[in-house]
Every structure is written in C-alpha cells, then in structure tokens.
Structure 1
Amino acid sequence: MTPSRTSQNALALAAVCLTSLMFGLEISSVPTILSTLERVLPADFREIQWIMNAYTLACTTVLMATGSLADRFGRRRVYVISIVVFALTSLACGLAQSAPVLIVSRFLQGMGGGAMLICQVAVLSHQFREGRERSKAFGAWGIIFGIGLGFGPIIGGMIVAVADWQWVFLVHVVLSIVALGLVFVGVQESRDPHANYLDVPGIVTLSLATFGLVYFITQGPDLGMGSPQALGIAAATLVSFIAFLWIEKRSPRPMFDFSVFRIRRFSGAMFGSMGMNFSYWSFMIYLPIYFQGALGYSSVNAGLSLLAYTLPTLVMPPFAERLSLRIDARRVIPLGLFTIGLGFLLMKIGSGMAHASWLTMLPGSLLCGVGLGMTNTPVTNTATGAVSANRAGMASGIDMSARLISLAINIALMGFILLKGVTTSLANALPGIFDAVSLRTLAEKVAAGSLQHLAQSNAALAAADPQGQVVQAALVHGFGWVMAYGVVGAWVLALLSVVAFGAGGRDVERGREPTSAAAERVCEPTL
C-alpha cells in the first residue's frame, strides 16, 4: 500500500530530524570524551585537536559539492549514500584502537555528515513547498538539531559513565539503520535536470587553503614557525587561497559569488556567522577540559555543567526573531555577538576566583548561550533574505561554509593559545627545571586536562610540585588566555558587523524584500 502524501511527508521529516539529531550529537557529545580518549588510546593534545578538527574540515570539504551532486544524480540517492557512509565511518570510529585511526575515521565520518546535512536541506526544500508547511518543517528540523547540540554534552558524559566511550560513535550505526528505513519509505526522489556543472577546482583549492592554515597553526610550533617546512606550508596555503579567489571570479557557475558581499546586509550577517565560531562553538571543544581538568569533575558532571552553556541556544531563537522584527537584524546580530563576548568576560572572571566551580562559571555560560541564540537565526535569515530567491541556496552555502571554516580555524587557534598560556605559566612557576622540549611536552599534557598522574610519571615535576597546584594553576591560566581571546574575537566581529551593515548602502538585491519584512522565516541549525 502506497502511503499518502501527508504520511509520506511526515516520514520524510522524521528521517531529516533523526539525521539532524545524529549530526548535532556527533559535534557536541565528542568533546566530553576527549579526556577519556587522551587516556585510553592514548592521544596527545594535538591529536585531540585533530579528532575534532578532522570532522569539521571534512564537512567543509563536501559542503558545496554535495548540493550539486544531489541535484544532478538524485537527492534521495545521495542522501542514502551519505547516511550509509556516516554509519560505516561511525562504526570505524567506535572500533578505532589508536588516535591516528580515529582521526582518519573522523575525517571520513565528517564527509558523510556534511553530505547528510546538505541533503537534509534539499529534501525539505523539495518535499515541503507550501509556505506554512515549509516553515513548520524547517522549524522542527532546526529545533531537533539544536536539541542534539544542546544535550550532546550530557549524553556523551552519560554514555561514558554507563558504557564505553566507543558507544558515543556506535550509537549512530543503530540510528542510521532507522533513518534509512524512514528515507526509503518517506523521501521522494528528485533532481535538477539543469545541474550539470561542479566547481571542482574551487572546492579543491578552498579545502587545501583551509587545511593548510589549520595544519600550520597546530603543527607550526613543533616545526618552528620560521622553519623551511612551516614557511612552505604557509606559502602553499596562501597560493591555494589566491588560486581559489582567481578560479571563483572566472568560473561560469562559482560556488562563491563574491558579488553578494557588496550587499551590506549579507556582509554584516557573514561577520555574525563567523563571530559565533570565533568564540562560542570553538570554545565548546575545550570547556569540558576545563571542567574535568581544572575543576576535577567527572564526565557526567562536566556534561551537566555544559548545559548552562548550550540550553539557552534552544530558548532564545524565537525571542531573537521577534526582536529582529522590532529593531532589525542589523542591530540584533552585533548585540548577540557583544553578549557572547560579555559572557566570555564573566567566565574569565569566574574561572579566576579562589574557589572556582560551575557556579562561578554559570553567569558567563548562560550569557554566552543567550548571545548565540540571539545571533544564529537572524544571521541565516538575513543572509538568505538579502539576495534574490534564485541565489538563496548559494547564500546559505556561503553562510554554512563561513561557519565551518571559521570553526575549524578557531579550534586550532584556541588550542594554540591554551597551550601557549599553559607553557608560559609553567615556565614562570618552574624556572630552570625543564628544557624547552620537556616543558612543551608537559604543557601539552596539562592542556589536555590529564593532571592526575603527571607527578607519578615525571620525577622532576613530583619534586617541584608534589600537590599538583602549579599544573592546575597553569591550566587555569591557559584557559584565562583562551577566554580573553573569546572576548576579543566576539567583540571585534561585532564591530565589523556594525560597520558592514552601515546606515545606508545597498541592503538587498533588487526584487528582494529586507529580511526584517519577510513573511516567512525558518529556524536553521545553530552551528
């Protein structure tokens, strides 16, 4: 018996929501198990960074290509392939016995996840075309994605507490099987007969430029920033980026049409998009390390503490939309970024208190989540609403790319700053005890949050710091630097957003209403 259109659409929405939940969980649940991975694999600090960054970079790599492939070869077909890839690579992550294997598996998992994310948008856009029905479908999708991101930390912590860390990944194998069943029953096949061009040179050069920059930030200190190897990586990164700009300006169908940046509302929204990932999302990777390493919390308690950071992002978007209608998104977006920066300032103050705890971090954590919730949906709606309807998909692609690329870069930058802050504190507190190489090795272990067994494995440290107060203070000092970077990053991007929006200039493309006057609004994922 063939299901009715209504029931078929309901099953398609269930499939999209389930896969969006999987994608969100895979981003936010993994940070809470990083300290466990550091111990059991084992993994050093740079490998911990790459466990997160491999996923993000891979998502960016496939982001723009997937839409074109789905339009050309069939959206349901590519959706099914992406779910299968995500399931198989999640299985590989769960079975990994070493950090390098997990990093490679995470990269492949990110490719499946990124493709899955784009296919979700394509399926919803094709299957829900009426205004009210479409708005409800996209709203449900965004809410479920937000639930995955918001509750991921506590879910990851609980999985580690009641089972093994592998189940943080293996659970997606089971969920993928359910999702495939829903897709086969509910999702209609569709394609664009005019989709016959894929911007491969642009995809390759942008991916190489992003990967090169992240690699330079993470590996440069070991290679020596002025060494021939490091300078070669920097030069190759710059050449790749220049090549990307040249290719996109000459491509007949570029994936990045830079002319849209002349639209003030679009440019202002893009600074808001990057600002969220210069601060909020990249710091979420490291905040569990602070709770577990500096405060000594278990994985479950660290996950519970993170709820104050994530849950406001689920509550604020409706308020942010009403605020955008009243005072306009050009004011709401910078205000949201300013609020995030203020939250980081309060977290820095709370972490530096004599008896720091989740309570001293609570005001800043809540304020960061409120700021993110204020910024996200207005950014997406403003970016897509500022361009003509036939370029809304491209604008959405640029928005998502800006988020993922800035996230990958700032995961690396925050790690670099954390390590530098820890190293500086240890060098000042333990002068002359360690040479440069030994000091950096110790700093990497401290930055990874593995403080419990440091003294037993290092005789010099046991003699100089028998109570572990120096290494704990060094970790807190390093996080102080990272939180200060979060303040500066959010506030600088808020200022740039204000300047980009301006008081005049071209707000939108011809024939397009300003976003604040748009009748239809959708709630998109908060990444």
Structure 2
Amino acid sequence: MSASHVAAGGRSHRAVLLTVTCLGQFMVLLDNTIVGAALPDMQNRLHTHLTGLQWIVDAYVLLVAMLLLSGGIFADRFGRKRVYLTGVAVFTAASGLCSLAPSVGWLIAARALQGIGAAALSPASLALLAAAHPVPQERVKAIGLWAGISGIGLAAGPVAGGVLTDAFGWPAIFLVNLPIGLVLLLVGLRSLEEARNPNAPAIDLPGTALSVPGVGVLTYGLIEGGARGWTSPVILGSFAAAAVLLAGFVAVEARRSAPMLPLRLFRQRLFTVSNTAMVVVGFALMGSTFFFSQFFVYVQGSSILRAGLQTLPTSLAMVVVSPYAGRLAARYGFRVVATTGLALAGLGLLALGTVHADTGYGNVWWRLAVVGIGFALTLSPLTGAAIQAVSPQEGGLASGISSTTRQIGAVLGVAVLGAVVRTRQSGGASFEAGLDSAFLMAGAITLAAAVPTGLWLARSKPAEASAAGRLSADPEKVAIGHEASANNR
C-alpha cells in the first residue's frame, strides 16, 4: 500500500474520530440548555413545585460535578474507547428512562444516571481526540473544532427545547438523544481505537465516596430548606452531615499520595483566585438561567416555544463571544478580561432584576445578551489562569478542576437562588418578586466577585505552550478560547 493511501486512511480515521467525539459532546451540551425550556411543561404535567424542578436540574449537574475528575482517570486507566462508549450507552439509556418517567422521583433518578454517563463521556471524548493527534499544532486545531462544534449545542438547546416541548411535550427533549446515542455506539464500536495511559494514577475511591454525598446532602439542605423550614431537624442534620463529610474529604485528600483534588495546588494564588471566581460563574450562570424560561412563561405569559426563543440571546452570545475570549486574554492578560466579564455579567443580572411582567422584549433581550457576553469573557481566561498556575504536566488536571468548581457552583446556584424565590413566596411575595430577588442576588454576587478577581488575579498573560496550548479537560466550550489564543499567536 502506498504512503498516500496510508495518509488518506489516517485522515479518514481522524475525521470519523472527530465526528464521533464532537457529536457526543454536542449531545451533553445540548442537554445542559434544552431542559430549561421544558421546565414549565414538566411542572404542569408532573404536578411538581419549584423544589422538584430544582432537583431535576441539580441531580444531573451534581453527578457531573462530582464524577468529572474520576471520569478522566477511569478513561486513562481502563481505556478511553471503553469509557467513552460506556458513557454514551449510560447517557442514552438514561435519556430513554427520563422520557418514560411517570413521576418526578423517577425523572430525578434518571437524570442522576444521565449525569454519570456525561461524567464518563466528556473527558473520555477529549482524551480520545488528544491521543489521536500527538502533534501539538494538530491537537490544538482538533480540540478547537471539538469545542466549537460541540458548543453549538448550547445555542441550539433553548430553540430545540421550545420546539420539541411545544409540539410533543417535555419527554421529547430526552428522546432526541436516542438516535444520536445509537449512531455513536454503532460507529464508535467499529471505528474508534482503544488507548490508555498505563501510568495513570489510582482512582481515589475514598475521595469520591466522601465528596458525592457531602455535596449531595448540602444541596438537599439548600433545596428543601425553603419547604421544610431552615430550622427543622432534617435540614439542620443535612447541613451537619455535609460539614462532617466535606471535612473528611479534605482530610483524606490531604493525606493521599494521588488525590483526585490535590490541595497543594490551592497554595498558588492564581489557581485559588481563578477557581473561586469560577464557582461564582457557575453559581450565577446556572442559577439564573434556571429561571429564564419560567420568567417568560409564568410572569410574561409567553408560550413554551416562544420562551425558548426568547432565552436564546444568552447562549448565542456565549457561543459567538467565547472564541475571542482567549485572544483578548492573550493580548490584555487574564485579569482585565475576566474582571470585565464578571462586571458585565453582574450588571446584566442586576438589570434583569428590574424586569417586570409589562416590560417589552425589546428591553429584555439585550440584558440577556450582556449576561451571555460577560460569562463568555470569564470562562476561558479563568480556566487559562488556573492552567498557567500549575506545571505543564498538570494542565489537564487544572482544567478539569476548573470545570468541576464551575459545576459545583452551578449546583449551589440552582439550590440557593431557588431557595430565595421559595422563601420570598412563603413570605407572601409573588413569583415575579421572588425572581427579581434571585436575579439581583446573582448579579450582586457576580459583581462583588469582580473586585477581588481584579485585585488578586495576576497580571499574567497566557505563556507560550501554557494555558493556550495545553490540553484542556473542560467538558464545555472553554477550550475554544485556549485554542483561539494559540492560533492567534
């Protein structure tokens, strides 16, 4: 066989690999935003309250947050193809179970199973792509395509969710995953090649066993506190259990030779500041977008389809602006771009807190767009700063931790802001007034975070072959900025 045939075969294999990994990540990101459009229909058809909707979202995000780092290690140790296809199979099967769920409890359980699948699928897909592109420049381009193409799922989610829910009801948003998952399994089994890292660290079972229930019971206390009473024995007990479990997690991680969360990394100010800011980003972004469709449906009287379209400015702005965030960070430094993004997002959320039932959409969409632009400017620079704070060998770990802290913030955002709305309603306020309070709180916290980020985040810019060029384990489109800044240079 000639060299040209071999080269053509290699290019064909890489094209299939890129398609499979991008489509898998697209499915995961689509699920992040498609659910929001269906929440009002879920509430009506499943006869649940705000607490139930919070669990439908947080059950998924919680498992992704807590298992994401372990998913990457599993892929390295047991085979990236095996873990990727297992993740696809679990995610697809769980999507089918979600669509058939007869009650809120069954849907929450299926959503948790979806989160387990996503936590395996996302890091394994990127690991497969990186292993197939050993040349750094080719890897950068491949990851940029992976991030860009799969990131379209964020923008497509609100529209697809609105269309499917309006036409067929909320189960349709999960059924759409079935054909995608089946195609990925069929093609992946035939075309993907197995790859593993024999030197991968051991799986941190004690850390996982403490972190998942620790954050879980904390989330339970925050979500259920508004309904059961903040001083009830169950809620106080959940907070106490969370404190014990999370303290145990810190103690275990400090003593392990290969912890899932190396606490020594937090001695670096750049790493600590960037990850703290990332918790705020996850908190405000996920906590506020949880209510976008509900605002348009319940406060302004929009249809589910129209509400899905009306929420589009935020996700569309993030997809459009994200590719430029890395370039701006490369030119002006992490601090300027991240601080500007936090300030814009905070101001946008504060502006949303003044929107009412009679506010015309012409005076709403730009506020949503400002929120999206602001968060798009923060994600890549904050992840890049975390990566630059550590050694080149730990770049993937740092990026994975950055993604995990954002997901933890997302879990807390849905729980806390939902508790704010429910507490206001318990006090006699309207749902609209509760939403205003939630948006104002999210905006105030985000704006407040811009101050220490601006003061403490280093003036550094992405170093050559550092934050912009290293492998990112982020399961979302943050990698766009890294690869864009690398290409820009």
Please, what TM-score do these two structures have when normalized by structure 1?
0.85
Alignment map for 1:34-433 (pairs within 5 Å): 34-195=39-200, 197-349=202-354, 351-352=355-356, 355-426=358-429
Question: Any conservation in 2 of the 1:421–1:479 contact (CA below 8 Å)?
Answer: no
Distance across 1 between alignment mates of 2:96 and 2:398 = 34
Question: Any conservation in 1 of the 2:314–2:368 contact (CA below 8 Å)?
Answer: yes
In the TM superposition, what whole-angstrom CA distance separates every residue of 1:113-154 from its partner, at most 9, and x where no partner exists? Answer: 121111112112211222221111111121123211122011
Distance across 1 between alignment mates of 2:432 and 2:47 = 23
Question: Any conservation in 1 of the 2:339–2:453 contact (CA below 8 Å)?
Answer: yes
The corresponding residue for 1:498 is 454
Q: Which moved more, 1:263-272 or 1:331-340?
A: 263-272
Q: Which moved more, 1:7-16 or 1:271-280?
A: 271-280
Query: Rg: which structure is higher?
Result: 1
**1:489 pairs with 405, 423, 445, which one?**
445
Distance across 2 between alignment mates of 1:101 and 1:517 = 45
Q: How far off its partner does 1:380 sit?
A: 2.0
Q: How far off its partner does 1:243 sit?
A: 0.4
Q: Which moved more, 1:9-18 or 1:161-170?
A: 161-170
Change (3 A) 1:175 1:344: same
Distance across 2 between alignment mates of 1:210 and 1:78 = 25
Distance across 2 between alignment mates of 1:494 and 1:327 = 16
Distance across 2 between alignment mates of 1:499 and 1:245 = 28
Amino acid in the other structure paired with 1:420:
T
In the TM superposition, what whole-angstrom CA distance separates every residue of 1:237-259 from its partner, at most 9, and x where no partner exists? Answer: 00011101100110010111122
Q: How far off its partner does 1:330 sit?
A: 1.7
Amino acid in the other structure paired with 2:152:
I
Change (3 A) 1:481 1:101: same
The corresponding residue for 1:441 is none
Q: How far off its partner does 1:502 sit?
A: 5.0
Distance across 2 between alignment mates of 1:270 and 1:196 = 23
Q: Which moved more, 1:39-48 or 1:180-189?
A: 180-189
Distance across 1 between alignment mates of 2:383 and 2:159 = 27
Distance across 1 between alignment mates of 2:212 and 2:170 = 30
Amino acid in the other structure paired with 2:321:
M
Distance across 2 between alignment mates of 1:199 and 1:522 = 22
Distance across 2 between alignment mates of 1:167 and 1:229 = 36
Change (3 A) 1:43 1:227: closer
Distance across 1 between alignment mates of 2:330 and 2:21 = 29
Amino acid in the other structure paired with 1:323:
L
Change (3 A) 1:275 1:224: closer
Q: How far off its partner does 1:517 sit?
A: 7.2
Q: Partner of 1:311: helix, strand, or coil?
A: helix
Change (3 A) 1:526 1:368: farther
Please, what TM-score do these two structures have when normalized by structure 2?
0.91
Question: Any conservation in 2 of the 1:76–1:187 contact (CA below 8 Å)?
Answer: yes
Amino acid in the other structure paired with 2:369:
L
Q: How far off its partner does 1:274 sit?
A: 1.5
Distance across 2 between alignment mates of 1:23 and 1:518 = 24
Aligned pairs, how many?
Answer: 471
Question: Any conservation in 2 of the 1:282–1:410 contact (CA below 8 Å)?
Answer: yes
Q: Partner of 1:29: helix, strand, or coil?
A: helix
Question: Any conservation in 2 of the 1:272–1:333 contact (CA below 8 Å)?
Answer: no
Quick check: 1:478 aligned with 2:483? Answer: no
Change (3 A) 1:327 1:516: farther
Question: Any conservation in 2 of the 1:59–1:111 contact (CA below 8 Å)?
Answer: yes
Question: Any conservation in 2 of the 1:10–1:186 contact (CA below 8 Å)?
Answer: no
Question: Any conservation in 2 of the 1:346–1:363 contact (CA below 8 Å)?
Answer: no
Distance across 2 between alignment mates of 1:224 and 1:148 = 38
Distance across 1 between alignment mates of 2:375 and 2:283 = 12
Amino acid in the other structure paired with 2:121:
M
Query: What are structure 2's unaligned runs of at least 5 residues?
Result: 479-489
Distance across 1 between alignment mates of 2:206 and 2:456 = 29
Amino acid in the other structure paired with 1:520:
G
Question: Any conservation in 2 of the 1:324–1:516 contact (CA below 8 Å)?
Answer: no
Question: Any conservation in 2 of the 1:381–1:515 contact (CA below 8 Å)?
Answer: no
Distance across 2 between alignment mates of 1:256 and 1:521 = 19
